[in-house]
Amino acid sequence: MPLLYPLRKDLNKPLRGLRNIPILFNLIGIALTLLFIWLSILVFQPASLYEQLKSLLEKPFVLLALVIFYSAAFVLRAFAWRLYLQNKVSLQKCLAGLLYSLFINHLSPLKVGDAVRAAVFKNDKEVTLRQAAHSVVVLRMLDMLILVIFSGTGLLYLYGKLQVNLPVLTVLAMAAAAVFITVKIKFPGFLKEQISQLKQGFRGLHGAVIILLVALSWIFEAVVIFGIASPESLSFMEAVWVNSVTISGQVFQVTPGGVGTYETVMTFALNITGASMKEAYEYAVISHGFKFVFSYAGGIAAFLLLPLQVRELTYFMKRKERLKWRK
């Protein structure tokens, strides 16, 4: 028996390591937020930011395009989610889940929106809550995989233009490390447990369509920063890369909506594509402000599509861990 005790302790080490992952992510998120404060001290000019915002508001067709493409991104993800669930649920319910998730993530400092996203299936007769939670995790993994591919491909394509510096490499390395840790350590146990459902969801043409819809949704979302930044500062391919790197960095969210982490990552990404640090900072702040407004409008739209009581939302936010995967 005494010989077995050390072995039991060794077996528990990986679990202790998993518990430390959120701490590591939070520390990185705090560091990025502090970096945002430092950037604000250096380059924030209220008058200049106001002029940038005023210039955007004077372009109603550009604003309309941003709303249309950003809305379309969520519709495409809703279609992908419905397909993954074998068309057993309505598009309306999937879209409501996505909008509730976006809304909650912009209210809470923790990324608990995915728990609420699954909550729309609480009393569904066709899809169980466990199946819904599984689908959310798998599709979030697909999101991250596509964003990493876009980020890596864009970096290779743009490498000749990039004025790479240490802060940029640090931010990109942290984002890559976060994705690696999340995919490699947190998800495999859950996926092994439900491997048959996973294979069924992505089998053949059905799976290819899901992947295509999700990829297109992130390309559509890139229209937001493309429309806000000046054409001289950003091409559309660069916008896709900037958006992908920025969203990847949101795994470090420690504030509502990722305030601070979003702006920091996007500022550095825009800067290395040619925008000045001040312009990059202003574009990042305005694009994030746009997404905040959209998220609150989306919350209202979600309630109209599928009303959920406040106590239901708070219940699932508190039960986030139980709605996630089981190892």
Confidence (pLDDT) at 323: 42
d(CA 190, CA 192): 6
What is d(CA 263, CA 32) in angstroms, rounded to the nearest whole number? 9
Mean pLDDT of successive 10-residue segments in the chain (327 residues)?
Answer: 40 48 80 93 95 93 96 97 91 93 85 80 83 86 88 74 56 64 58 57 81 96 94 86 93 89 94 90 96 94 80 56 38
Q: What are phi and psi of 272, to 5 degrees?
A: -80, -5
What DSSP letter does each residue of 161-194 carry, written as one string?
Answer: T----HHHHHHHHHHHHHHHHIIIIISHHHHHHT
Domain boundaries, the chain: 27-39+47-320
- Gap between the Cα atoms of 128 and 86, Å rounded: 13
Per residue in 247-264, is it b (16+ CB within 10 Å) or e — as a string? bbbbbbbbbebbbbbbbb
Question: Taken in order 298, 40, 26, 170, is the CA torsion positive or negative?
Answer: positive
* Sequence-separated (6 or more) residues with CB below 8 Å from residue 210: 80, 83, 84, 142, 201, 202
Note the pLDDT of residue 154.
Answer: 80
Determine the pLDDT at residue 12: 45
